[in-house]
Amino acid sequence: MLKLLEIELRKLLPYRSFWAAVLAYALLMPGLFISLYRLGVNVRGLQLDFNFYNFPEVWHNTTFIASWFNILLYFFVLLVVTNEYQFRTVRQNVIDGLSRWQYLGGKVMLMLLFAIGSTALVSVLGWLCGMFLSETQNTAQMFVKTEYIGLYFVQLLGYLSFALLVGTLVRKQGMSIVIFLGYSLVFETILRYRILPSEWGLGPYLPLQALGAVIPNPLLASFGGPPANYDLKIVGVSAAYSVLFILITGFVLNRRDL
Amino acid sequence: MSTLEIRSLSKRFGKLQAVHSLDLTVQPGNIYGILGPNGSGKTTTLGMILGVIRPDTGTYQWFGQPESHLARRRIGVLLETPNFYPYLSAEKNLQVVASIKGCGTSRIEAVLKQVGLYERRKTPFRTYSLGMRQRLALAAALLPDPEVLVLDEPTNGLDPQGIADVRQIIQQTGQQGKTIILASHILDEVEKICTQVAIMKRGQLLASGDISQVLQAENRILVASDNLNALRQALTGRPGIETVRTQGALLELVISGTPDPAALNRMLLDQGIVLSHLQVQRKGLEETFLELVAEDVKTA
Instruction: Look up the ipTM and state it.
Output: 0.90
- DSSP H stretches of helix in B123-274: 130-142, 160-175, 187-193, 211-214, 228-235, 261-270
Contact A14, B110 (CB under 8 A): no
Q: What is the pLDDT of residue B57?
A: 96
Q: What is the pLDDT of residue B218?
A: 66
Cα(B151)–Cα(A137) distance, rounded to whole angstroms? 69
Q: Which of B99, B133, B149, B151 to mutate to test the interface with A (most CBs of A within 10 A)?
A: B99
Report the residue from A10, A255, A256 with minimal CB separation from B96: A10
Q: How far is CA A63 from the centre of its chain?
A: 10
Q: Give me the amino acid identity at B284.
A: G
- Cβ of A98 within 8 Å of Cβ of B99? The answer is no
CB contact at 8 A, A215 and A155: yes
Contact indicator for A155, A70 with CB cutoff of 8 Å: yes
Q: Which of B72, B84, B86 sits opposite A97 (nearest CB)?
A: B72
- pLDDT > 90? residue B230: no
- Would you give the distance in Å from CA B161 to the centre of its chain? 21
Confidence class for position B157, pLDDT limits 50, 70, 90: confident
Compute the count of residue pairs across chains A and B with CB atoms less than 8 Å apart.
74
CA distance B165 to B234: 53
Q: Does B47 touch chain A (CB under 8 A)?
A: yes
* Alpha carbons A34 and A156: distance in angstroms, whole number: 22
Determine, for residues A257 and B97 on separate chains, whether the beta-carbon distance falls below 8 Å.
no
In Å, what is the CA distance from B160 to each residue of B156, B157, B165? 11, 10, 9
Kindly give the interhelix angle for A100-133 and A2-12, rounded to the nearest 10 degrees: 80
Question: What are the extents of the domains in chain A?
Answer: 2-255
Chain A partners of B89 at a C-beta cutoff of 8 Å? 14
Q: Please tell me the distance from the alpha carbon of residue B73 to that of residue A93, in angstroms, as a whole number.
A: 10
C-beta separation of B210 from B196 below 8 A: yes
Q: How confident is the model at residue A78 (pLDDT cuts 50, 70, 90)?
A: very high
> Which domains does chain B show, CATH number per domain?
4-214 (3.40.50.300), 219-282 (3.30.70.100)
Among A residues 175-234, those touching chain B with beta carbons less than 8 Å apart: none
The answer to whether residue B87 neighbours chain A at the CB level (below 8 Å) is yes
Q: pLDDT tens, B19-49?
A: 999 999 999 999 999 998 888 999 999 999 9
Residues of B in contact with A11 (CB under 8 A): 85, 88, 96
Question: Is A3 an 8 Å CB contact of chain B?
Answer: yes
Reduced to 3 states (helix: H, G, I; strand: E, B; else coil), residue B245 is strand
Chain B contact for A99 (CB, 8 A cutoff): yes
Instruction: Please tell me the predicted confidence (pLDDT) of residue B298.
Output: 44
Nearest CB neighbour to B69, from listed A88, A91, A98: A98
Residue A185, SS3 per DSSP = helix
Between B280 and A68, the more confident residue is: A68
In eight-state DSSP terms, residue B163 is H
- Residue B191: Cβ within 10 Å count: 18
Nearest residue, CB atoms, B52 vs list A3, A7, A95? A95
CB B134, CB B174: distance < 8 Å: no
Give the sheet arrangement for strand B250-255, strand by strand. B241-247, B250-255, B219-225, B275-282
Distance separating alpha carbons of residues B4 and B183, to the nearest angstrom: 15
In 10 A of CB A139, how many CB atoms? 7
Beta bridge partners of B9: B22
Q: Do A257 and B47 touch (CB under 8 A)?
A: yes
- B35 contacts B199 by C-beta, under 8 angstroms: yes
Q: Would an 8 Å CB–CB cutoff place A136 in contact with chain B?
A: no
Predicted confidence (pLDDT) per residue in A168-223, tens digit: 999 999 999 999 999 989 999 999 988 888 888 888 899 999 999 999 988 777 66
**CA-wise closest residue to B31 among B181, B155, B164:** B181
Exposure on the CB side of residue A30, measured as CA atoms within 13 A = 13
Residue pLDDT, tens place only, A81-129: 999 999 999 999 999 999 999 999 999 999 999 999 999 999 999 999 8
